[in-house]
Amino acid sequence: MEKNKYYNNRRRVRANEHIRELVATVKLNYREFIQPLFVDESISIQTPIASLNEINSDTIESVLTQIEKDLQAGISKFLLFPVPLNKAVNNFDYRFMLQTLKAIRNRFAGKVWIAADVCLCAYTTHGHCGILNEEGNKILNDESVKVLADYALQLAKAGADCIAPSDMMDGRIAAIRISLDSNGFDEVSIMSYSAKFSSQFYGPFRDACKSTPGNGCNVSDRKSYQISSFNGNDALLSTIRDIDEGADIVMVKPALPYLDVIKELHQITKVPLAAYHVSGEYQGIELLAINDLIDRGKAHIEVWTALKRGGASIIISYAARHAKKWIETIHY
């Protein structure tokens, strides 16, 4: 066939909304979204989080109302973070988080799916995700894993559907799996923060959870347990290891700066892959929108399509509760 000068034109598939919709390679589905929730023991009414636009901290009571609203907006999957009142260095008091989980389960039974964050950073005086040694210069791996596995079991007993360890200690997936299985919670799943990078983009979250590391100790960052952005292979190896230890869902976090990791993982494993568009990534979009520099909904949608193109099948986003509404009104 003879090729005329129009043969390779691409604009035919861009010509109008109908054909753009037909040829789209990514379709978003609000059912694949998880909404993070914060419950804070120090407040008595729902309170806006200054660092996260339109996101609130909840009391046990207000989180039930929030979930009711979210269900109406099409969201039924949640990732729950506690902000306990009392911090310690060991022997942590989990009662507030456990009470919250029980209250949610009592009210909503099987209508909601709750993943409970497992980490110690909101519980420790020093803000680290594990137990600190006496000298205050090292986060102890195995001691932390023991505590985390015990906490995970208590969360399962309180009604968590899924355990989501974000601590980044070695061996915690295996320890949690054994702890759950040997106590009759073999149906509780594990979503591992398997590719969690040491990142600037957690700033607004740490504000919300009062979990900035370094207070009263000699370790001011999480680089000795979170993955370096200079080492993509570490993220792949960490994820393969966690799958081997029993992770049901694995995760890349933050999302957009690590799209290459999402894509590579999607190519090497068929284990469900979640992308966590974290607090700083979310707030970046919000601040641009507040300043009238971008359209908020369209910007979030654009990021979500990137994550799906990359191969994520689950999206964790602070804007998840808007996903259904925004997706319904997408203009291709």
Of the residues 77, 87, 196, 308, which is catalytic? Answer: 196
| 5 labelled catalytic | no
| Among 199, 253, 246, 254, residue whose Cα is nearest residue 222 | 199
How many other CB atoms sit within 10 Å of the CB of residue 45? Answer: 10
- Specify the amino acid at residue 293: L
Please report whether residue 206 would count as binding ligand PBG according to CB under 6 A. Answer: yes
Please report whether residue 197 would count as binding ligand PBG according to CB under 6 A. Answer: no
In angstroms, what CA-CA distances link 129 with 31, 94, 206, 211, 224? Answer: 31, 15, 12, 9, 11
Please report whether residue 319 would count as binding ligand PBG according to CB under 6 A. Answer: no
153: helix, strand or coil: helix
Beta bridge partners of 189: 162
Site track for ligand PBG across 256-285, x = CB under 6 A: ----------------------xx------
Give the binding-site size for ligand PBG (rule: CB under 6 A): 11
Beta bridge partners of 201: none
In terms of CB distance, is 206 or 309 closer to ligand PBG? 206
Please report whether residue 166 would count as binding ligand PBG according to CB under 6 A. Answer: yes
Site track for ligand PBG across 115-154, x = CB under 6 A: --x-x-x-------x-------------------------
Please report whether residue 37 would count as binding ligand PBG according to CB under 6 A. Answer: no
Site track for ligand PBG across 214-233, x = CB under 6 A: --------x-----------
The residue assigned the tokens 């009759």 is 184
| Among 4, 6, 69, 1, residue whose Cα is nearest residue 35 | 69
Exposure letters 92-120 (e unless 16+ CB within 10 A, then b)? bebebbbebbebbbeebeeebebbbbbbb
In terms of CB distance, is 119 or 261 closer to ligand PBG? 119
| 196 labelled catalytic | yes
In angstroms, what CA-CA distances link 174 with 146, 182, 187, 275? Answer: 11, 12, 15, 22
Of the residues 111, 138, 157, 253, which is catalytic? Answer: 253
Please report how close the Cβ of residue 4 comes to ligand PBG at its closest, in angstroms. 52
252: helix, strand or coil: strand
Q: Which stretch binds ligand PBG (CB under 6 A): 91-99, 105-113, 201-209, 231-239?
A: 201-209
Binding site for ligand PBG (CB under 6 A): 117, 119, 121, 129, 166, 202, 205-206, 222, 278-279
Catalytic residues: 196, 253
